[in-house]
Amino acid sequence: MNAGQFAVFGHPISHSLSPQIHQAFARQFGLELRYLTIDAAPIDFESAVREFFAEGGRGANVTLPHKTAAFAMADERSEAAKRARSANVLTSLPGGRIAAHNTDGAGMVRDITERHSVDLRGHTALLLGAGGAAQGVAWALLDAGVETLTIVNRSPQAADALADAIGDPARAHSRYWEDLAGLGAFDMIVHATSAGVLGKSLDLPFAIVGNRALCYDLSYGNAATGFLAWARTAGARYAFDGLGMLVETAADTFELWHGRRPDTDPVYAELRKQYA
């Protein structure tokens, strides 16, 4: 059965595992689909997406740096996308309209709590970054029961805006990046900046890592290597990359597009072998 044409948009995008994951899910149901990787510079993103849908595309995943732009261009938006004001999934609607969704937060929490069996309730969490990726997971962390969420970003205005959007100053607040060393230790540190993807390093103080700390990078593979190495050196109890999150968010997307829920465990296990 032919399920149609899909794609993932990013810049860069050659590293993406999304085609492999969606093809693996499709085989579980005997579906045939075409899944492309499309590298679009920010200035070309919207026109590239509209061209893809005009030529018969049914759905698109969206990654760095386009998640905010994906949200902005949509005609309809899911509640998760509205909260995050960013989207990692776009779906074609009748009449040339486009729907935006965000599955990042749900996928991350499911990976942490179900695959890695870590209870987030009561944790003090530090979110590094305030862009589209960070916006996609911030609310999910609070929904999962973290006690407080401290947001830091190189551009303090973006961190302030995200904290203000959450609107719960007793639990979510922003701080300056330059003050990291003096913020104390955290139970959870989520790396949501683009530094790893762009091959840049972060100079982070070991003092922010608490005794039971879970360090989680939303990236995977080479992009997560630097942060995870820092976390292990700092004595973090857990250090995970975002490979499981990627698989879980893809499963949510696959179900949205095809109405069937794939089994994520064998797909994750196979990908983990590749990155062992």
| Residue range 138-146: mean pLDDT, rounded | 97
What is the largest distance, in Å, between two alpha-carbon atoms of the chain? 57
Does pLDDT of 105 surpass 70?
yes
Domain topology for 2-102:
Rossmann fold (3.40.50)
| Residue range 190-202: mean pLDDT, rounded | 84
Closest by CA to 130, choosing from 173, 76, 91, 73, is: 173
1 falls in which pLDDT band (50, 70, 90)? low
Distances (CA, A) of 186 to 18, 103, 113: 32, 25, 18
Across the beta sheet with 209-217, the strand order is 172-176, 148-153, 124-128, 186-191, 209-217, 238-240
| SS3 track for 223-263 | HHHHHHHHHHHCCCCEEECCHHHHHHHHHHHHHHHHCCCCC
Least-confidence region, from 42-46, 171-175, 195-199: 195-199
Give residue-wise pLDDT tens across range 204-235. 999 999 999 999 999 998 889 999 999 999 99
Encoded amino acid at 219, one letter: S
Give residue-wise pLDDT tens across range 225-261. 999 999 999 999 999 999 999 999 999 999 999 999 9
Does pLDDT of 198 surpass 80?
no
CA trace torsion 262, 264, 267, 268 (10° rounding) = 160
| Residue range 29-58: mean pLDDT, rounded | 97
| Residue range 155-173: mean pLDDT, rounded | 96
Across the beta sheet with 57-62, the strand order is 32-39, 2-10, 57-62, 89-92, 98-101, 76-77
What pLDDT does residue 191 have?
Answer: 97
Pair 25, 6: CB distance under 8 Å:
no
What pLDDT does residue 23 have?
Answer: 97
Burial environment of residue 96 by CB neighbours within 10 A (0 to 12, 13 to 18, 19 or more): exposed
- Alpha-carbon distance of 133 to 60, in angstroms, equals 16
Instruction: Please count the other Cβ atoms lying within 10 Å of the Cβ belonging to residue 146.
Output: 23
Does pLDDT of 200 surpass 90?
no
Q: Assess whether 82 carries a catalytic annotation.
A: no
What pLDDT does residue 194 have?
Answer: 83
Per DSSP, helices labelled H in the chain are: 18-28, 45-54, 67-73, 79-84, 104-110, 132-143, 156-166, 222-233, 243-258, 265-274
Average pLDDT of the chain is: 95
What pLDDT does residue 264 have?
Answer: 98
Is there a common fold for 2-102 and 105-243? yes
43 falls in which pLDDT band (50, 70, 90)? very high
Structure token pair of residue 163? 């904290």
Domain chopping of the chain, boundaries: 2-102, 105-243
Structure token pair of residue 31? 């579906």
114 falls in which pLDDT band (50, 70, 90)? very high
Per CATH, domain 105-243 is 3.40.50.720: yes
Overall residue count recorded for the chain in this entry: 276
- Alpha-carbon distance of 35 to 37, in angstroms, equals 7
Does pLDDT of 196 surpass 90?
no
What pLDDT does residue 80 have?
Answer: 95
Instruction: Please count the other Cβ atoms lying within 10 Å of the Cβ belonging to residue 232.
Output: 13
Which entry of 67, 82, 200, 273 is annotated as an active-site residue? 67
Is residue 146 helix, strand or coil? coil
Structure token pair of residue 262? 């794939």
